[in-house]
Amino acid sequence: MSELGLGENERLFILTGAGISAESGLATFRGSGGLWNGYRVQEVATPEAWETDPELVWRFYSMRRRDAMAAEPNLAHRALATLEQKLGDRLYLCTQNVDDLHERGGSQRVHHMHGSLFQSRCVRCEKPFADRAFYENAAALPVCTTCGAAVRPHIVWFGEIPLKMDEIYSRLAASTHLLVVGTSGSVYPAAGFVQIANQGGLKTIYVGPEEPLNAEAFDTIFLGAATEVLPSFLL
Ligand code: APR
């Protein structure tokens, strides 16, 4: 924890983005040019897309399920799991990622603010449930076994409110350090956490191979791949 400079009673809030899973082979949003099969991701990951073409939306998330299942956690996911073992409750891990690589890398408590790839929910009952299936044609689209309404991915789409924002803001307020890893700083509210941290007097650190859009708001930037930089935080 030398690089982080975390004292005995200090508390760490970690925000991760697509960059932490890049070295596991999962394409980042920006790395793919924001495109999937000729569609802009912002056109597929929206309530409007769901209303007009649920089959297209499910094909997109089925592909992402396949990709995530084929991927393995990397040294950066594992380093954060080791940090959790060391810090226990003094660490809060919040990810924008919908993959399960933090969990498979050993993290016990992860908040997925943009939802989870391996959960779905009925649009009427709203209760998320575990789901690893692929729905890739109109005949296969899932419906709720209880009420018969459509089942959608348990994902926070553009224009929807991220999950448990109250918990996020209170954990941010209770922390002394904010570590942000592999996110371009372009999608709010996550991109604004660093400003909130600054107002609260937290020490703010960014890790990634290039500066994020909100780079000027950070106290310290470690330019480099997550797998190279994060393990050094454990020394
Ligand atoms: N280690 C760390 N960071 C990396 C690595 C790496 N090996 N490789 C790439 N990055 C960085 C890039 O420099 C970039 O800044 O990861 C960032 C990825 O940015 P985005 O693709 O914009 O991903 P993210 O910021 O997580 O996107 C936010 O947008 O698509 C929506 O809801 C989705 O959660 C997602 C949100």
Q: Which residues pair with 91 in a beta bridge?
A: 12
Using one digit for the tens of pLDDT, what is the confidence trace for 86-114? Answer: 999 999 999 999 999 999 999 999 999 99
Is the predicted pLDDT of residue 19 greater than 70, yes or no? yes
Tell whether 19 and 52 lie within a shared domain. no
Is the predicted pLDDT of residue 235 greater than 80, yes or no? no
pLDDT of residue 39: 82
How many distinct structural domains can be found in the chain? 2
- Quote the CA–CA distance of 134 and 58 in Å, as a whole number: 8
Tell whether 189 and 230 lie within a shared domain. yes
pLDDT band at 141 (very low <50, low <70, confident <90, very high): very high
3-state SS track over 138-152: HHHCCECCCCCCEEE
Residues annotated as catalytic are 114
Query: Average of pLDDT values for 59-80?
Result: 97
Tell whether 93 and 147 lie within a shared domain. no
Is the predicted pLDDT of residue 37 greater than 80, yes or no? no
The sheet carrying 128-130 orders its strands as: 128-130, 115-122, 151-155
Counting atoms of ligand 1 from 1, which one is nearest the CA of 212?
15
Tell whether 233 and 197 lie within a shared domain. yes
Structural domain containing residue 194? 1-26+72-114+162-235
Q: What's the CATH code of the domain at 93?
A: 3.40.50.1220
pLDDT of residue 5: 80
pLDDT band at 36 (very low <50, low <70, confident <90, very high): confident
Tell whether 89 and 195 lie within a shared domain. yes
Tell whether 39 and 91 lie within a shared domain. no
Tell whether 232 and 137 lie within a shared domain. no
Tell whether 183 and 225 lie within a shared domain. yes
Tell whether 42 and 13 lie within a shared domain. no
- Quote the CA–CA distance of 148 and 198 in Å, as a whole number: 47
For residue 89, give the nearest of 179, 169, 171 by alpha carbon: 171
Number of H helices, E strands in the chain: 9, 11
pLDDT band at 2 (very low <50, low <70, confident <90, very high): low
Query: Average of pLDDT values for 159-164?
Result: 97
- Quote the CA–CA distance of 201 and 199 in Å, as a whole number: 6
Is the predicted pLDDT of residue 69 greater than 70, yes or no? yes
Q: Is the peptide bond before 189 cis (omega within 30 degrees of 0)?
A: yes
Tell whether 127 and 166 lie within a shared domain. no
pLDDT of residue 208: 98
Tell whether 40 and 59 lie within a shared domain. yes
**CA angle centred on 181, ends 25 and 183, rounded to 5°:** 75
Tell whether 171 and 233 lie within a shared domain. yes
Pocket of ligand 1 (CB under 6 A): 17-20, 22-23, 28-30, 41, 96, 114, 182-184, 186-187, 208-210, 212, 225-226
- Quote the CA–CA distance of 207 and 184 in Å, as a whole number: 11
Is the predicted pLDDT of residue 30 greater than 90, yes or no? no
Query: Average of pLDDT values for 187-211?
Result: 97
Q: What percent of the chain has pLDDT over 90?
A: 88
For residue 182, give the nearest of 70, 12, 30 by alpha carbon: 30
User: Please, are residues 19 and 182 in contact by the beta-carbon 8 Å criterion?
Assistant: yes
User: What's the 20 CA to ligand 1 centre distance in angstroms?
Assistant: 8
User: What's the 21 CA to ligand 1 centre distance in angstroms?
Assistant: 9
